[in-house]
Amino acid sequence: VLKGDMSLVGPRPPLPDEVAQYTLEDRKRLHVKPGITCLWQIKGRSDIPFRQQVQLDMEYISSQGIKNDILILLKT
């Protein structure tokens, strides 16, 4: 975060085997700075299946903004 490589809020950095499962649409996730916390972490973390994690990350990307970031940080 301090170096600027990551954000406080954003999609979690993906593992290579996760990227291999991405659809073309999912790859938009790679164009956003990764974050320490994200939408799916506040909605259930490890209880959420991979496809739903990706969907929640895509939802975050489409509604990205300071208000949403603050809400996610407060719920983390």
Q: 54 pLDDT exceeds 90?
A: yes
Mean pLDDT across the chain: 92
| pLDDT given at position 20 | 94
In whole angstroms, what is the distance from residue 8 CA to residue 38 CA? 9
Q: What's the mean pLDDT in 48-67?
A: 93
| pLDDT given at position 65 | 93
Closest CA to 10 of 51, 52, 68: 68
| pLDDT given at position 4 | 82
Q: What's the mean pLDDT in 35-41?
A: 92
**Residue in this structure with the two tokens 């939408």, named with its chain if needed:** 39
DSSP output for 26-70: GGGGGGS--EEE-HHHHTTGGGS-HHHHHHHHHHHHHT-SHHHHH
Q: 46 pLDDT exceeds 80?
A: no
**Where exactly are the structural domains of the chain?**
7-75
pTM: 0.83
